Structure 1
Amino acid sequence: MDKQESLPEAEIDPPKPKRKSTSAKKGTSKSRKKKKAPPPPGYLQRKLAMLAVEMISLASVAISLIIVLIGYSADRFTGTSFFGSLLPFAFGILLLVLLALVSLLGWWRLRQWLDLKAEFLSPLVAASLAIIIGWFTVQDNFALAYGRFRTLVGGKEEAGRVTLAHQIYAAYRRYGTKDLQKMLDRAKRFTPAIEAAAEAFDVDVNILHGIAAAESSFLPKDSADGGRGLFQITQVPKATLEEAADQLQVDKLDLQNPKHNAFVAAATLKHYLDEMHEDLFLALLAYNIGPANGGLRFIMNQYHASDFTTIQPYLQEKPRGYPVRVLSHALAFRIWREEGKLLAYEEGRNALHIQHIGIPGLHGDL
């Protein structure tokens, strides 16, 4: 008998089912998973732009509020008393820091809620707050708070500058709108020449008008002390004559010509602004003193004076009030250009509004 036939049926192994490959299973499961779609073109740039708008807007709001709060606090707690002024002000700064932290936390929670609604809501709300604050900053009350803030931070130097600014406002008030308007009317026929000179030498046109008003009241003539024309040109640095002639493209200057006269004045003002490192008060004083005997720079070196406040006591017979006179007239021209009319300083809220307009060359003076 054959051996295979003699084996019992139980001992014959049944055929084993084939196992599926594990690698095939993995491949199938991976293929079933949904792949994450790539962001659309420009998505990252859009997110960065919205974040930039949000951050800039919030920074603008924060800076403006700090200026207002500290400005008004500085005015409220002015003084040297420890318990009456210094301690309350320090406590106010501590409260301001705590308020800033609470505001940041509140914005973070609000931002999370806004992002659930729409991705553009956070920058939109931040920009809206910045616009509201921006509207407030162009109001007169903000200028008052900003001036107090500058005085607090600027210390002695800023306090001296504010004092000079109030001298200019007082001079403007003394002249009165009636007399100033007559001067403005006389100035109209010289305005094109003065504007051209101011543009050629990059100086403030209102200040240049102020110099002409202080020198000749727009009644140009030769004076007994040698002054000539609209700006009463006497001695000026030789370089300024050459620069004025170059700008006018002439070989010889005629100081009787109002345009030539204005170009020499503008070149001279620019020269002294550069020499005095853009200190407007010193530049105007140097303009009036002229280059004779070393000019203002020699006087300052002689007495070791560094600014307009410290040089004033040493000028004696020199024209200490000249910068104030020039800038009070320049203020009149600026008000007239911006308002279309002159404003009486003492009427209503005009004083605050004029301080908001600011003195030419001394932006944000109060």
Structure 2
Amino acid sequence: MIMAYTMEHIQLHRRLALLVLSFVGSSTKWSMAGLMGVTAFLSMWINNSASASIMMPAAIAIIDEVENYQKQMQQQEQASEIERQSRNIATVDKAVALDVETINAEKKTEQLSSHDSVSINCSELMIVYVTDGTTAILIGSLPLILPDQNPFQKNWKYKPIIQWNQLSKSFPWGVFMLQGAGLAIADGFKASDLSTTIASSLQFIVGAPKTLVIFVAIVIGAVFTVFTSNIACASILFPVFDSIARTANIHAAYLIMPSCMAASLSFMLPIATPPNAMIFSSGHVKIMDMIKAGIGIKIIGILVILLASTTFLGPIFHVNQLPSVVNAATMMTNNTIG
């Protein structure tokens, strides 16, 4: 969001808007398609919040030239969310790999004695101490540090691209309040043992067909993400679905991966995901408009995820068979009961 305000401050968003209009023309439909294409392309390389914050000023600039600006704002946000589905499963695998590397690095750090003479790998320390928040703070601080003009020209006087007093007056602080509310709701769910209650109430689907179990997991993920952030939704539901999968004797990926993608179907309320909150904070879109535009896309997304999960999820990721560890644990449990 800091980068978005910086773009707006230096009028870069108008240049981007004019570039899009130069290719697609002034038609409302084509300008909408151009914005969605650029946003989807950016979202392939950066997270959806950053891509939405970068493109929102450009959308507002085009709004000044064309009508029906509400559709433009919503479609720009939805393009960022829909495109993320194309890299959602890969993101889960990378996150798991990063967690494994972090745990290994932390174990190595704990094993170091104060009397040992060892060489410490800098990359391992970076995994432990440099988090995603560190990178975000660094990138967000650059506009407050970098000069706004070429420092090698004559009579140069240092002035940052944007100053803090300018940023603090126009920064959408309400976005943080909305996201904080979503995280607070998630903590409330955990403190009240809601996850345990959900797991016990879903035991009726254990003996149901696998397709029905997957469909229920997708619907629950899609419903939960309406009222809380997708990160909080994932942290609440994934342990529940893992225990249900073990009880139903199916691979946990059949429930966790579809529910992970369903948790990203955040199109309806500002609290669901930062792009929604940013679009809503612009003042151009009402909550009812977001609900009307998002409910149809959510239903389509549920059907697409269900189709993908029941067709090529198993052959591609080799999850048709349970891991040997799970099979051994199940056999041991059955023998103990018998």
TM range (shorter): under 0.3
TM-score by length of 1: 0.20
- The structure with the largest alpha-carbon Rg is 1
TM-score by length of 2: 0.21
